[in-house]
Structure 1
């Protein structure tokens, strides 16, 4: 079995990986996301994923031979990269701009093999079609607090799921980690996907 280390505090990413038979060790990177800016949205997501992966892979407490996975997601709307809102007012403005429209959710993935130092990285992109919410629904959703803690101010696997009319692409990518893309990165580094499955699953 190959040990997977998830360099992310996201409970949604962890739940997605566990549902797929993996049981990663979580090591939060502590990377300051504000240090990277002025990049196109897809590149920004990948750059942040690479920084998180590198920060955790350099730590002494990472198991030898582990695969370290860094991920980051941003929503692209009108060419702008939208991460987590800073406060309820920003989340409200986001939804007023997003409602009834389509954005693209970019999730950067960076996977490092600590045994060889090799890195495989890529960005998954999924079009997200948002429902046309009224102001009252936006207020109610923002009041749940959920939009404040996630890229693009929405989830597809929580309260926000009712406000996503459809997607084009990988559903898991919208949650924050694309399983098909991650499998390709694992293969690129010379490992087999089933080797990451937890023996207790």
Structure 2
């Protein structure tokens, strides 16, 4: 089994990997997301939604590599919701979550999840020092919630902790009427995309399984 480090505190991402037979080590980054985006926007100009997700995923991954230097494959992920050309991450407060859902209800958005992979294994173990990434994008259709439904969902606290103020695999599941794309990408980690990234390193998916 090849060593994999997940540079994310997301329980959903960890559960997704475990459900697929992969048991990663979890090392959480200390990245200031707002500072990272401000730096890149100042240097390169406005970022489109996929670039936002990839930039944050890369920053988290490389921060873990720099601070912990694990001899492993290191995976960083970040998700954002695109709606009307705007990018939305975690709402942070209940008021923002309520306002967000009032805009989202009865409509569709695109959930972008950036994946960044660093091959930080020792050279004698096949390490290549490769660093690259890709983004999974999935259309999400939201139910037309009433104000009471929005208030009740936000009161659970879940929307404040997740990108786009919703989950498809948790309490928010009843409020998502459909998706077009990879279900795992909406949860926060696209298993098919990760398999493709591993393939670029000539690593088979089953090499990660217990």
TM-score by length of structure 1 reads 0.95
What residue number does 2:123 align with? none
Change (3 A) 1:131 1:60: closer
Q: Which runs of 5+ in 2 are unaligned?
A: 39-45, 121-126
Query: In structure 2, which of residues 89, 93, 102 is the aligned counterpart of residue 83 of structure 1?
Result: 89
How many residues align? The count is 196
Q: Could you list the runs of 4 or more consecutive aligned residues of structure 1 that deviate by over 6 angstroms after TM superposition?
A: none
Instruction: Tell me which residue corresponds to 2:33.
Output: 33
The residue that corresponds to 1:92 in the other structure is 98
- The 2-side partners of 1:134 and 1:52 are apart by 37
SS of 2:22's equivalent? coil
Aligned to 1:118: 130
Alignment of 1:144-159 (within 5 A): 144-159=156-171
- Classify the secondary structure of the residue corresponding to 2:185: helix
Tell me the secondary structure at the aligned position of residue 128 of structure 2: coil
Comparing 115-124 with 130-139, greater Cα deviation is found at 115-124
C-alpha RMSD over aligned residues:
0.9
Alignment of 1:128 onto 2:134: no
Q: Which residue of 1 aligns with 2:184?
A: 172
Partner residue of 2:42? Answer: none
Moved more, 117-126 or 94-103: 117-126
**Between 37-46 and 2-11, the greater mean CA deviation after superposition:** 37-46
SS at match of 1:122: strand
Task: Give unpaired runs (5+ residues) of structure 1.
Answer: none
Structure 1 CA distance, aligned partners of 2:179 and 2:52? 21
In structure 1, what is the equivalent of residue 74 of structure 2? 68
| TM-superposed deviation, 1:61 | 5.3
Give the counterpart of 2:57 among 49, 64, 70. 49
SS where residue 103 of structure 2 aligns? helix
Tell me if structure 2 keeps the 8 A contact 1:120–1:188.
Answer: no
Mapped partners of 2:10, 2:69: distance in 1: 20
TM-score (norm 2): 0.91
Aligned partners of 1:119 and 1:189 also within 8 Å:
no
30-39 vs 3-12, greater mean Cα deviation: 30-39
